[in-house]
Chains A and B, each alone.
Chain A
Amino acid sequence: MKNLVEVKNIKKNYGKNEAVKGISFNIKEDEILGLLGPNGSGKTTTIGMLLGLLKPTSGEILINSQKLEGNRIEILEQINFISPYIELPKKLTVKQNLTVYGKLYKINNINERIEFLSEKLRLGGLLNSITGELSSGQKNRVSLAKALINEPKVLLLDEPTASLDPEVGDFVRSFLEDYKKEKKISILLASHNMNEVTRLCKSILMMKDGIIIDKGNPEELMNKHGRKNLEEVFLKLSRSKNELN
């Protein structure tokens, strides 16, 4: 499988504070990579650099074999992002929001795309609703529709199911699994929900203090650290000194 995301020794300093201290990883086609780590470990900074919102202090990022530096627009056409910390304009209807983003991403046949996504994400009855009046679960599905409006090759997910009830959370996870399989996309999933990561990710990066302290698939990590589940692995690694450099 081809690497759609290649991160080569990226560092990010904010003044004297080293937020990310030189990390490297790849994400293949048809792969969901879990990015775990305690708060302040550098996950959001890493995602910010992948989105071109942050300029790495050094290192290189390639998306679909193209360098991010110097090709920002071409690469942004191929990626998208969802996070509970960002929202869509509240006063617009769902359809208006999706149309706006369809235009921004220069999508042909916007209406067909919206129809396809609304069917897949159970948004049919919500298209004319005001976005700000939707429930958390509905807003989450609308944000997901926005994130898929450009048929991204790379999808970055920051806590995609935070604050969702178990049913909606399960629906979103199943949808992401199916969509990834169908479209062969790469997904980077940053989450604190260890069950979600165990279910969705074949490979995991554990970050702490700006470095990757461990990596592997969930089972490997559990066996290696002698723990029953990923949550216990997370707690062990979060509380221990950095293991890998």
Chain B
Amino acid sequence: MYGLFLRHFYLITRSFPRVLDLVYWPTIQITLWGFISNFFATHTTYYNNAVGVILTCAILYDFLFRTSIGFNMLFLEEIWSRNFTNLFIAPMKIGEILTSLVATALIRALIGLIPAVLLTSPLFGISILDLGIFLFFLFLSLYLFGITLGILVSAGLLRYGPSFENIAWSTMFLLAPFGCIYYPIEILPELFQKIAYLLPLVYIFEEARNILINQTVDIQNIYNAFIWNGVYFVLSIALFYYSFNVAKKKGTLINMGE
């Protein structure tokens, strides 16, 4: 028994991402649900006139989640199947690898999204299409942020190897409290609000609620979301290239999957 305990103890203590993973989930769950509970305790009538708001936000968030996880999965699949080396010795530029993953992640996310959108109408009498033409911009923005997160996590996998895998699963949950998915930004403490305003998510979900509850459109929100998306997207690409070069120096690429 002690031997088995030691086997896992050594594994955990030798990997910072694994230690982080242990601390991370309880913290995130408590933070997220704390803010949600706070919001419902103090704003009991906020959603009275817009029954579908929570569900719409849930679908939007799920699209983001699917895009990001979908991208990470494509990368992880190559590690799990020990095909990683084959991929990186094929004559493909890094840009080509990223482009193909980005396109495939979109298809994966759409396959998951379409049934969810179709089901909300007959089951709950709600249509996400109520967001109108702006729905397209919100989805596009979420897609950009989803693949940006996917590229960032893949850069971590390149740099740190498979031990970074747990982070791949949890990035979305880290951002959930700051994304203001189910509550307005005012519910966050001031410091958290400042952080949240640096993310495109808050603009996207604020705007979705604005359209559904107030029946108005604030283009500035959509604009801000795209600006921040552009910034993070460029940063993520730069980080991916940097990680690839570090991996070539450190030898991560030949040890991946072992």
With A53-B253, A104-B91 known as contacts, the answer to whether A89 contacts B83 (CB < 8 A) is yes
Q: Which residues of A contact B85 (CB under 8 A)?
A: 51, 53, 81, 83, 85-86
Q: A53, B89: Cβ atoms under 8 Å?
A: yes
B101 to chain A, nearest CB (A): 13
Q: B254, A55: Cβ atoms under 8 Å?
A: no
Q: A44, B254: Cβ atoms under 8 Å?
A: yes
* Chain A residue with the shortest CB-CB distance to B97: A104
Residues of B59-84 at the interface with A, using a CB-CB cut-off of 8 Å, are 77, 81-84
A220 at the interface (CB under 8 A from B): no
* Chain B residue with the shortest CB-CB distance to A48: B254
Q: B248, A54: Cβ atoms under 8 Å?
A: yes
What count of chain A residues pass the 8 Å CB interface test?
29
B251 at the interface (CB under 8 A from A): yes
Q: Which residues of A contact B82 (CB under 8 A)?
A: 85-87
A-contact 0/1 string along B242-258, CB 8 Å cutoff: 00010011110110011
Q: B248, A86: Cβ atoms under 8 Å?
A: no
A25 at the interface (CB under 8 A from B): no
- From B81, B249, B250, B258, contact of A90 by CB (8 A): B81
How far apart are the CA atoms of A146 and B90 in the complex, in Å?
11
Q: Which residues of A contact B251 (CB under 8 A)?
A: 14, 45, 48, 53-54
Q: A55, B84: Cβ atoms under 8 Å?
A: no
How far apart are the CA atoms of A89 and B92 in the complex, in Å?
18
B136 at the interface (CB under 8 A from A): no
Mark the stretch among A72-80, A119-127, A206-214 that contacts chain B: A72-80
B93 at the interface (CB under 8 A from A): yes
B40 at the interface (CB under 8 A from A): no
Residues of A97-148 at the interface with B, using a CB-CB cut-off of 8 Å, are 101, 104-106, 146
How far apart are the CA atoms of A117 and B81 in the complex, in Å?
23
Q: Which residues of B contact A53 (CB under 8 A)?
A: 85, 88-89, 248, 251, 253-254
- From B81, B92, B245, B258, contact of A73 by CB (8 A): B92
Q: A86, B257: Cβ atoms under 8 Å?
A: yes
Q: Which residues of A contact B254 (CB under 8 A)?
A: 44-45, 48, 51, 53-54
B86 at the interface (CB under 8 A from A): yes
A-contact 0/1 string along B214-258, CB 8 Å cutoff: 000000000000000000000000000000010011110110011
B85 to chain A, nearest CB (A): 4
Q: B90, A87: Cβ atoms under 8 Å?
A: no
- From B91, B248, B253, contact of A77 by CB (8 A): B91
- From A44, A48, A73, A86, contact of B86 by CB (8 A): A86
A58 to chain B, nearest CB (A): 12
B97 to chain A, nearest CB (A): 10
Q: A48, B84: Cβ atoms under 8 Å?
A: no
Which residues of B line the A interface, CB within 8 A?
Answer: 77, 81-93, 245, 248-251, 253-254, 257-258
- Report, nearest first, the 9 A-B pairs whose CB atoms are least far apart: A76-B91, A104-B90, A48-B254, A53-B253, A87-B82, A55-B248, A77-B91, A86-B85, A89-B81
13 residue pairs of the A-B complex, CB under 8 angstroms, read A48-B253, A53-B85, A53-B253, A55-B248, A73-B93, A81-B86, A83-B85, A85-B82, A86-B83, A88-B86, A91-B81, A104-B87, A104-B91
Other A-B contacts than A51-B89, A88-B83, A90-B81, 13 sampled, CB-CB below 8 A, are: A45-B254, A48-B253, A51-B254, A52-B248, A53-B254, A81-B85, A81-B89, A87-B82, A89-B83, A104-B90, A104-B92, A105-B90, A146-B86
